[in-house]
Amino acid sequence: VEKTNKMKGVGEMKRCYTFLEETSRSFAAVIQEIHPEIRDAVCIYYLVLRGLDTIEDDMTLNIQYKKTLLADFHTYLYDPQWNFDESGPDEKDAHLLMEFHIVISQFLKMNKAYQDIIADITKKMGAGMNIYLEKRVNSVADYEEYCYYVAGLVGIGLSKLFSASGLEDHALEKMENISNSMGLFLQKTNIIRDVNEDVLDNRRFWPTEIWSKHVNYINDLVLNKNVENATYCLNEMCLNALHHIPDIIEYLSSLRDPTIFNFCAIPQAMAIATIARCFNNQLVLDENVKIRKGEAIRLIYEATNINNVQKIIIRYLDEMHKKALTAKNDPNQKQLISKITTLRTNI
Ligand code: PS7
Ligand code: MN
Ligand code: MN
Ligand code: MN
Ligand code: MN
Ligand code: MN
C-alpha cells in the first residue's frame, strides 16, 4: 500500500529522532521531553547544527572544500536533493550527512518563522567556523568569539524559537547576552574537559593568553611535563567559565514553560558538575573526565525548577571552594577563592 505524504512525513520525522539518538548522548533525552509545539523544530535545529559541526570537525576534508561547505551549508537547507557522502571514515556522525535530505525535507515542512531562525543561525555559525579555520584562539576575546560562533549563537537561536512559539515571552529573544552565556558555559565546559583529545588532535581551543602564563608550549598541558603548572592553567580556565553563572541563573529564572526549563537547565547542571569535577583535577590532562552516572541521573531529576538549580550550583561551588583551599601553590588561589565565594554569596 502506497503511503500518503503525511504518513511518509511522520516516518521521516521518526528517522530524524533516530539520527538524534545516534548523534547525541545527552541531548536526545531532553529534546524528546520538550512541548510538542517546538519539539520537532528543536530536533531539526540540533541535526542541522550537528551536520555543520561534523563538517567543521572532519580533519580529512580539503580546506578549501571545507570552507565552501561551511559557508554554503545554510543554502543546502532549501535544496531537497542535497546530501553528502564524501566524509572521512573516522567521522562517527557522517551518516547523518549521507541521509541529510531527510532532515531537509522535515525542515522545509516547518513554519517559515522557525525555518528563518534556523537558517540564519546556520549561516552565521558557518561563517564563524570559517574564520577560526585559519585563525588561532590567541586572546581571551578570541576564545569568547569562537564560543559565540559555535555555541552562543545556538542559545540565541533557541531563545528566538521559544519566543516565536509563544511558549516563552517575547522579551526572551531580546536577551541575547544571557542566551549567549548559556551556550558559552556548555562550550567552555566541553573545551576544558576535552583538552587532552583536542590538543593531541592539534585542535587548540585554550587561549594562548591563558596557557602562556603557565606553560611554554600548549602540548606541555597534556605531556605530563609540568603537571603542577598545567593544573594551574586548568584552574584558570575553570575560573573563566564560572563568570557565566549569574547569567545562567538570570536566564533560567525568566523561563515559564516547564518543559523548556528542563531542556535548558539539565545541560547547565551537568556542566557545573563537570567543571567541579575537572577543577584542580590533573586527570583532565590525561583523559576525558566524566561525572558519575548516578550523579547525572540525580541532576536530571533535580534540575526541574530554579530553586533546585540554585541548590545544585551552591553544592558544586562548595565542592570547588574546598578544592581551592588545597591549591596552595596556585598563583590564582586568591582569585579562585574570591570568585567562588562571591558567586556563592550572591545566589
Ligand atoms: C539545538 C539543542 C539552552 C539557551 C550540534 C545547546 C560544537 C557544547 O567535543 O560536538 O566537538 O564532540 O558534542 C543543540 C543554550 C551545535 C549549545 C556545539 C545544537 C544552550 C554545533 C551546545 C548543538 C545552547 C556546534 C556539543 C553547544 O558539541 O562536542 C541544540 C540554551 C550543536 C547549546 C557545537 C556544542 C555542543 C555544544 P565535541 P560536541
Ligand atoms: Mn562529541
Ligand atoms: Mn566542532
Ligand atoms: Mn564537535
Ligand atoms: Mn565529532
Ligand atoms: Mn570537544
Q: What is the pLDDT of residues 198-247, one digit of tens each?
A: 999 999 999 999 999 999 999 999 998 899 999 999 999 999 999 999 99
- Clarify whether 203 is annotated catalytic: yes
Q: Is 150 in the pocket of ligand 1 (CB under 6 A)?
A: yes
Q: Is the pLDDT of residue 90 over 60?
A: no
**pLDDT tens digits for range 242-278:** 999 999 999 999 999 999 999 999 999 999 999 999 9
Q: How far apart are the CA of 57 and the centre of ligand 3, in A?
A: 5
- Pick from 51, 36, 40, 50: nearest CA to 9: 40
Mean pLDDT, rounded, for 312-336: 98
Residue 146 designated active-site: yes
Residue 272: CB within 6 Å of ligand 1?
A: no
Residue 10's contacts (CB-CB under 8 Å, 6 or more residues apart) are none
Q: Cβ neighbours of residue 191 under 8 Å, at least 6 residues apart?
A: 147, 198, 205, 206, 237
> DSSP assignment, residue 42?
H
The reported pLDDT for the residue numbered 5 is 57
| Mean pLDDT in residue range 14-40 | 95
Of all residues in the chain, the percent with pLDDT exceeding 90 is 91
The question of whether 263 is a catalytic residue gets the answer: yes
Give me ligand 6 centre to Cα 334, in Å. Answer: 29
Q: What is the pLDDT, as a whole number, of residue 3?
A: 56
Q: What is the mean pLDDT of residues 130-135?
A: 96
pLDDT score recorded for residue 242: 98
Compute the distance between CA of residue 240 and CA of residue 276 in angstroms, rounded to an integer: 13
CA of 167 relative to ligand 1 center, distance in Å: 22
E-strand stretches of the chain: none
Identity of the amino acid at 137: V
The whole-number pLDDT of residue 94 equals: 75
Q: Is 344 a catalytic residue?
A: no
The verdict on the CB of residue 27 being under 6 Å from ligand 1 is: yes
Res 103 pLDDT > 70: yes
Q: Which atom of ligand 1 is nearest the CA belonging to 179?
A: 4
Across 9-16, average pLDDT: 89
pLDDT at position 331, please?
Answer: 98
